[in-house]
Structures are given as structure tokens and as C-alpha cells.
Amino acid sequence: MEGPRLQGIQEHLARAEFLLDISHSVPDAIARYRLQLSAIYSCRAVVELMLEAAEKQQVASQSTPALRWDRKELEDYVSPKLAFYSLIERIRIHDFHRFGLLPPDPAKQQAFLGGPVKLMVQRGGAALAIGENGPIQSTSGDSQKKAQRPLLTRDDEFYDEDSSSYVSLEAIIEQFIRSANPVVTELATSVA
């Protein structure tokens, strides 16, 4: 991959790091949260630009450089390599498309679960609760829970389903940047 798309990916990585660095010097918790939430957009843009490059057949396969990856193949390849891949996608979707995420209120504890999440009860029961360590779900009989990229927040932390823990925006961004740099370097060397 090369050219303007690669430059855009590198710019978004630099932008995420820039916004995170600025947030460290901001004493106001709400302003810090907003800066970090803005950095999440650039983290997701890194991924979207990679996937767009694959869609345009501009990313050579690592195993067979004569072949080009499609969007799904590249996503399957990079998603396990990029820290908080799914969580960043869910944060961006909920903030941009579903609800708009609000800064936490330092005066009170808050929890938020954005869905859609459907509990379908059939010959049994279904329950969903928010516990100290994340969602608590139970079903019996033929009942089931169906969720479409849910997002659970607790104050200024986000629940990561992959690690089953709450994580701060700062940690999400830092770990994403650290994991994305080698992926971008690797893809940059696979010129299509």
C-alpha cells in the first residue's frame, strides 16, 4: 500500500497521538474526555482507510504478494493485531450514529448500556444486569439474548468484551497506537 491512502493512515495515527498528548495536559476532566473521544475517531479512521485500500485492491497479501486482499480478508488479518479493534468500532458507532456519548459527570457514578439488545423469552427466562465487573447475562430454556454491537460504559471507562474488563479511553488509545504502528509499517511494505 502506498500513496495518499497510506499518508492518510499515517496522519490519523499521528492525529490520535497528538490528541492524546494534548489531553494529558488538560486539567478539566470533561475537556480531557472530549479530546480522547476525538482521538478514537482517528483510531477508527486508520482501520477504515486500510479496509478501503483493500476494497480498492491496493493491499498485497502477505503470503502471496501477487494477490490482493479484499476487505474481509484484510479485516480478518488486522483485527487480532490491533488492540481494542471491536471496542473502538463500537465506541465510534454509538457516538456518531446511535446516541452521542456524553462526558462522565464527576459528581456522580454513571453506567450506560447502548444497544440494541433484545431479550427473547421462549419456554424459560432471560435476564441482563450490569454488574461491577461487566454485564451479567442468563438465559434458560429456548430464550436468548441478541445484541448488535452493544456498548457498556461506567463513568469514564468502556467495557471491552474481548478482555472482559473496563478500560479507560486513554488506555484504549495508547494500546491501539502501539499496536497499529507495526501493522501500518507491515502493510506499507506490501505495495500493490
Per-residue pLDDT of 55-78, as tens digits, reads 988 888 777 767 888 899 999 999
Q: Please report the pLDDT score of residue 107 as a whole number.
A: 84
One pLDDT digit (tens) per residue for the chain, 192 residues:
567 888 999 999 999 999 999 999 999 999 999 999 999 999 999 999 999 999 988 888 777 767 888 899 999 999 999 999 999 999 998 888 878 888 888 888 887 777 766 667 777 777 766 777 776 677 777 766 666 677 888 888 999 989 989 999 999 999 999 999 999 998 887 654
Q: List the chain domain ranges.
A: 4-105+168-188
- pTM of the complete model: 0.85
At 23 the pLDDT is: 97
Nine-digit cell string for 103: 462526558
How far apart, in whole angstroms, are the C-alpha atoms of residue 43 and residue 14? 10
